A and B are shown apart, each in its own frame.
Chain A
């Protein structure tokens, strides 16, 4: 593609620089404020290791759930023709704009021990969600899955469906069309949706603490551990733990941009 050389615009450049600095300064703050002397001991502490482990397990699980259940939902929203589709889309993507703490309360009322789903679920299977790892995964899925659904739906919508017609006219059955044409064509949306969902799940705080509580080693994920450290005047711990999350997120974002060739 031809590179277009933009004329230099000082106002534009200044505003863009300010925007960039706005994001860079807090990172500098974290790095400069880090207790480098005992970062190693903090991040190898039991609390930190447990929280990181939980965060990774829960965020990956809810990302997997988002893919397994979110893809069919995205497909239905993109391709289905049925009344109330707009309402369905609105309801299933509501958590994107809903304050997570509200989501947490709503989850309690439905899937909590006294909830209208949670109660029969417990009496039938003995499974309870609040204050368990499963509850963390449910909370993270509730908040993060809409990002997957909406990204994949828009990918499905923007692809040229006539390419699927072309594939069928060339003798490809529905399954071959899906794996050889549809999936490769929406791959960028799938990848973006997966990363967004995972990142949102990793950072999830409000719904998790409301629905699953803050039990170290059981439901205390990294964001919860950071918040607890910060609010109990253990700022050094909070900063060190934050650095870990920054590092993990940064690695993923850079990896993704390289893979998708968008960088």
Chain B
């Protein structure tokens, strides 16, 4: 079990994040570029010393600046798989994988045997003697995975393990990774900015923005009730913030909407784009949740079209492709949006 409280002062970012990861659990660390995800991993390995906070792994204090405790990176039972793999170019696959074992004192023969077995488990036996430069990206990725797994770490850190892969093999490698992680007894942290990776691989999600944790929960909870516009954008829903007075939600950016539920205080509201109806004329007989804005952008998403409307509030609607022509959305101009109160999900901030 990992208990981490990471405080760092960097030139472009102040990081302050406390979280725990149970042994055998997979936590997906999700956040936009530059939010501090990879920095957290570097800090956990000890490559980036903490300014404050504490890192405890299985009851061993690895780092505690206030107490002057700093276990060097090479002494930590942690494995990090780097986003760009960082395989040693002058070593073949077996030597790369055996490196961690050799460094930690395993004899050469045993290390090579264990490395070969791990490579075989990841279906890499045929490139065992090849150097990274002669491998495909997918093979390099799996060798990097083998190199991280072979030392039986107590904490396994995966930095965007699928990001550099070709789309064509991403699915199969994700499946492979899920199999590997499901057998892992380590505390596992997976850094990603791909919601699909986080949902498919993570038992729990931690969303981080600007160096701070903005939400934690199961993938289901986080996607159903996003607390940040970053996650809302990933799942493609509209997220509105405001203060609720009964059924009325006064929005932070101006405007108000009427919701089916009753609440008070700071509240978040999620509206699926498909629940937003649009028309060129003011909808008749509807008083509430009807407002006007300007067409900002029109995007094709699969067989649906998303219309972004600049209004108070700004909102994204999903319409069938035929509507683009019928409503002449490409011309821009004013558009009315309408949302049924029953289609709005609210929850406290």
- A binding-site residues for B, Cβ under 8 Å: 160, 162-163, 165-173, 176, 180-181, 184-185
Who on chain B is nearest to A176 by CB?
B103
- Contact present for B47 and A165 (CB under 8 Å): yes
Q: A184–B78 Cα gap in the complex (Å)?
A: 25
**Size bracket, chain B contacts:** 20 to 34
Instruction: Indicate whether B82 reaches chain A with its CB closer than 8 angstroms.
Output: yes
Query: Which one of B74, B89, B104, B147 contacts A168 once the chains associate, using CB atoms below 8 Å?
Result: B74
- Contact present for B86 and A173 (CB under 8 Å): no
3 nearest A-B pairs in the assembled complex, by CB-CB distance: A170-B100, A171-B103, A172-B103
Who on chain B is nearest to A168 by CB?
B73
- Contact present for B104 and A171 (CB under 8 Å): yes
Kindly list chain A residues whose C-beta atoms are within 8 Å of the C-beta of B45.
Answer: 169
Q: A102–B72 Cα gap in the complex (Å)?
A: 50
- Contact present for A173 and B82 (CB under 8 Å): no
Mostly, the A contact residues are: helix
- B binding-site residues for A, Cβ under 8 Å: 45, 47, 72-75, 78-80, 82, 86, 88-90, 99-100, 103-104, 147, 151
> How many whole Å from B336's CB to the nearest CB in chain A?
53
- Contact present for B99 and A167 (CB under 8 Å): yes
Q: A160–B90 Cα gap in the complex (Å)?
A: 13
- Contact present for B78 and A169 (CB under 8 Å): yes
Q: A162–B80 Cα gap in the complex (Å)?
A: 12
> How many whole Å from B139's CB to the nearest CB in chain A?
18
26 contacts between A and B (CB under 8 A): A160-B86, A163-B88, A163-B89, A166-B80, A166-B86, A167-B99, A168-B72, A168-B73, A168-B74, A169-B47, A169-B73, A169-B78, A169-B80, A170-B79, A170-B147, A171-B74, A171-B75, A171-B151, A172-B74, A172-B99, A172-B103, A173-B72, A173-B103, A180-B99, A184-B90, A185-B89
Who on chain B is nearest to A162 by CB?
B86
Q: A181–B99 Cα gap in the complex (Å)?
A: 10
Q: A184–B89 Cα gap in the complex (Å)?
A: 10
Q: A181-B88, A185-B90 are in contact. Are A169 and B79 (CB under 8 A)?
A: yes
Kindly list chain A residues whose C-beta atoms are within 8 Å of the C-beta of B74.
Answer: 168-173
Who on chain B is nearest to A165 by CB?
B47
Q: A162–B42 Cα gap in the complex (Å)?
A: 11
Q: A162–B147 Cα gap in the complex (Å)?
A: 16
- Contact present for A166 and B90 (CB under 8 Å): no
- Contact present for B82 and A162 (CB under 8 Å): yes
Q: A180–B96 Cα gap in the complex (Å)?
A: 11
Who on chain A is nearest to B85 by CB?
A166
> How many whole Å from B93's CB to the nearest CB in chain A?
15
Kindly list chain B residues whose C-beta atoms are within 8 Å of the C-beta of A184.
Answer: 90
Q: A167–B75 Cα gap in the complex (Å)?
A: 12
Kindly list chain B residues whose C-beta atoms are within 8 Å of the C-beta of A171.
Answer: 74-75, 100, 103-104, 151
Q: A169–B88 Cα gap in the complex (Å)?
A: 13
> How many whole Å from A138's CB to the nearest CB in chain B?
36
Query: Which one of A160, A162, A170 contacts B99 once the chains associate, using CB atoms below 8 Å?
Result: A170
